[in-house]
């Protein structure tokens, strides 16, 4: 290292080394200059770039921020900052950097694309739609812009609109594999299984050694109500790829649908590993550093301290609560994580078990207990491998295992009680991934609404971004058919699950699609008339024996007769209600 104290000489010396591409030698010289002049603008900028070139991303970020204190940032500074954050997978800060670039120059299609890519990484799809749309507006004829916009529309479940853009992109690049996969997925999502299978057959030809086209083809066969062929396809794939979590998960669900439970449980834990592949938080990997996880094995011992871990939605947990007492008989020392909205309900219903609240959003998973207190962990959706191995293990009579808040229930009943009228709770929409297949229009339920002597009560919950849609549907129904769906406005049916449970408990009967309300009604032992789609959207746990749910004996299941809409399903529900309740 030169002893020269003249900073200009040192700057020139470092620049000479950079010109010779001797970057490793230039870095210590710049670092020496910074010690003597911490605000030298050129050195701060160049050193930041050198750090990034050497993949010293944190050092590079710190140096860029130091340069911001000296000079006004330019687009290149923010681009370097975004590049560093992307490399560190710190997508939130990368997004902020891209947004700063757009503030300086909004006519930057590539930056909109990069912004959209980062927004996808943090699952902010709504913002990504806007970013990719702006990129498309800037470059409407470019394949990548058209494809990206179609891709994000597909991720947001706007399948029909997505198809327009994806097909346009495929015309530009006819053999683009990802585009073909997405087109197949969109076709399948709108129940156009024949065209979807044609697309997957094309992919089989283009990439003969790939397993994904075969998996997708098998899934579409399953959506058509076929089981034997998909099972064969999945088993053949597992010969080549025995550790494919997606294939194992799909095979497990197929066995579940066919009520081959013992075989199903051999595969169902693969859903945990499948989720971990796309989980931003990598919670499964984190949990493994604290406790032994009972995943793809069956090793719990009766004297161990066991924590039941959250892995699915509220409905899935309520389903698993139905076997909690049986599980508790086998393993005495258990505690459980639940969504914070379920804590009070669970504590009241299962007072001998410790429940811990989990607060969850797109990027965080917050708990308030010490994982080191436990020896083993098992996920809610896996309890059945210890308690539900054969059809004889399922309840044969109505069993209510949720206990609603009695005070709240009395308050609700006093407010909604109608003389000589049955109270029928109504829920008709699902916001889940397959929600479009499970959801009906309120107008579809007219055959039920025309029954006499029934007071209809709204049990439909809504996500915040859908607030008001149910009210619009009810207003339209009243204007067109003079049918009133009453609402109990003192309960937030999305956030207050305890309140929703009291509301459901106050009904005489419930008519619902496959959603959280269906699980609550079944867990309360409430006489429930459940409508489910023909195949796609009919989840594995809605298996039935003589039209009665094997998990919830108080739930009668009505399945659509084909993939072409609901058909006569609501006329059948209406006739059944009329007969059973002597209306």
Give the span between the Cα atoms of 224 and 37, in whole angstroms. Answer: 71
Q: Count H helices, E strands: the chain?
A: 29, 13
Would you say the CATH fold of 294-393 matches that of 7-206?
A: no
3 state DSSP class of 89: coil
Query: What is the pLDDT, as a whole number, of residue 1?
Result: 45
* Tokens 């204007």 -> residue: 479
Q: Are 120 and 113 in contact (CB under 8 A)?
A: no
Q: pTM value?
A: 0.78
- DSSP, residue by residue, 450-499: T-TTEEEEE-----GGGTTHHHHHHHHHHHHH----B--TTS-TTT-HHH
7-206 CATH pick, 3.30.2040.10, 1.25.40.10, 1.10.10.10, 2.60.120.620: 1.25.40.10
Query: What is the pLDDT, as a whole number, of residue 3?
Result: 45
Q: Are 336 and 356 in contact (CB under 8 A)?
A: yes
Give the span between the Cα atoms of 365 and 394, in whole angstroms. Answer: 33
Q: Are 177 and 206 in contact (CB under 8 A)?
A: yes
CB-count exposure of residue 272 (10 Å: 0-12, 13-18, 19+) = buried
What is the topology classification, in CATH, of domain 294-393? Rossmann fold (3.40.50)
Query: What is the pLDDT, as a whole number, of residue 29?
Result: 85
Tens digits of residue pLDDT in 404-434: 999 999 888 888 876 668 999 999 998 777 7
Query: What is the pLDDT, as a whole number, of residue 464?
Result: 58
406-580 CATH pick, 1.10.260.40, 3.40.50.2300, 3.40.50.2000, 3.40.50.720: 3.40.50.2000
- Average pLDDT for 246-268: 93
Query: What is the pLDDT, as a whole number, of residue 39?
Result: 84
Domain boundaries, the chain: 7-206, 294-393, 406-580
Q: CB-based contacts of 34: which residues, under 8 Å, 6+ apart? A: 40, 43, 44, 47
**Statement: residue 2 has pLDDT above 50:** no
Give the span between the Cα atoms of 134 and 443, in whole angstroms. Answer: 37
Sheet with 454-458, strands from edge to edge, namely 454-458, 422-427, 509-512, 528-532, 555-559, 548-549, 544-545
Tens digits of residue pLDDT in 472-506: 899 999 999 999 999 888 898 988 999 999 999 99
Tens digits of residue pLDDT in 177-210: 999 999 999 999 999 999 999 999 999 999 998 9
Give the span between the Cα atoms of 253 and 199, in whole angstroms. Answer: 24
Mean pLDDT of the chain: 91
């Amino acid at each position: 290292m030169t002893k020269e104290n003249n900073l200009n000489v040192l700057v020139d010396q470092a620049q000479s080394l950079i010109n010779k591409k001797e970057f490793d030698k230039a870095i210590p010289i710049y670092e020496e200059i910074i010690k003597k002049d911490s605000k030298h603008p050129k050195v701060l900028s160049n050193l930041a770039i050198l750090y990034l070139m050497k993949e010293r991303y944190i050092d590079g970020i710190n140096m860029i921020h130091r340069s911001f204190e000296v000079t006004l940032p330019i687009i290149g500074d923010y681009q370097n900052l975004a590049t560093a954050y992307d490399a560190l997978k710190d997508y939130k800060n990368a997004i902020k950097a891209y947004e700063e670039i757009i503030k300086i120059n909004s006519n930057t299609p590539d930056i909109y694309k990069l912004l959209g890519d980062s927004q996808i990484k943090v699952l902010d799809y709504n913002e990504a739609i806007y970013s990719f749309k702006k990129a498309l507006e800037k470059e409407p004829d470019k394949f990548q812009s058209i494809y990206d916009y179609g891709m994000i529309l597909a991720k947001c479940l706007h399948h029909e609109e997505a198809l327009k853009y994806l097909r346009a992109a495929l015309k530009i690049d006819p053999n683009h594999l990802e585009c073909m996969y997405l087109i197949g997925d969109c076709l399948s999502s709108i129940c156009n299984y024949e065209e979807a299978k044609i697309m997957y057959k094309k992919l089989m030809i283009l990439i003969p050694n790939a397993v994904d086209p075969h998996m997708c083809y098998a899934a579409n066969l399953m959506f058509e109500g076929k089981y034997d062929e998909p099972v064969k396809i999945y088993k053949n794939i597992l010969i080549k790829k025995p550790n494919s979590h997606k294939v194992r998960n799909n095979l497990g669900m197929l066995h579940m649908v066919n009520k081959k439970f013992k075989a199903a449980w051999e595969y169902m834990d693969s859903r945990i590993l499948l989720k971990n592949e796309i989980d931003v938080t990598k919670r499964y990997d984190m949990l493994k550093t604290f406790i032994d996880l009972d995943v793809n094995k069956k090793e719990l011992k009766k004297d161990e301290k066991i924590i039941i871990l959250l892995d699915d939605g509220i409905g899935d947990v309520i389903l698993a609560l139905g076997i909690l007492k049986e599980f508790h008989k086998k393993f005495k020392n258990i505690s459980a994580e639940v969504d914070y909205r379920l804590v009070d309900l669970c504590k009241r219903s299962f007072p001998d078990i410790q429940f811990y609240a989990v607060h969850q959003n797109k990027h965080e998973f917050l708990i308030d207990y010490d994982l080191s207190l436990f020896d083993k962990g098992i996920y809610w959706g896996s309890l059945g491998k210890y308690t539900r191995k054969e059809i004889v293990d399922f309840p044969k009579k109505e069993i209510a295992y949720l206990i609603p808040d009695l005070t709240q229930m009395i308050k609700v009943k006093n407010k909604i009680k109608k003389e000589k009228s049955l109270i029928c709770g109504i829920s008709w929409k699902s916001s889940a991934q397959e929600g479009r297949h499970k959801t009906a229009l309120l107008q579809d339920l007219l055959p039920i609404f025309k029954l006499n002597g029934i007071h209809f009560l709204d049990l439909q919950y809504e996500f915040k971004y859908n607030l008001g849609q149910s009210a619009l549907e009810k207003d339209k129904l009243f204007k067109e058919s003079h049918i009133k769906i009453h609402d109990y406005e003192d309960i937030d049916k999305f956030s207050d699950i305890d309140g929703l449970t009291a509301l459901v408990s106050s009904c005489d009967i419930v008519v619902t699609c496959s959603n959280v309300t269906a699980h609550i009604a079944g867990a309360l032992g409430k006489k429930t008339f459940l409508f489910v789609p023909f195949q796609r959207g009919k989840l594995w746990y809605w298996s039935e024996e003589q039209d009665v749910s094997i998990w919830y004996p108080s739930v009668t299941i009505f399945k659509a007769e084909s993939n072409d809409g609901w058909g006569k399903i609501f006329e059948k529900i209406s006739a059944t209600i009329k007969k059973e309740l002597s209306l």
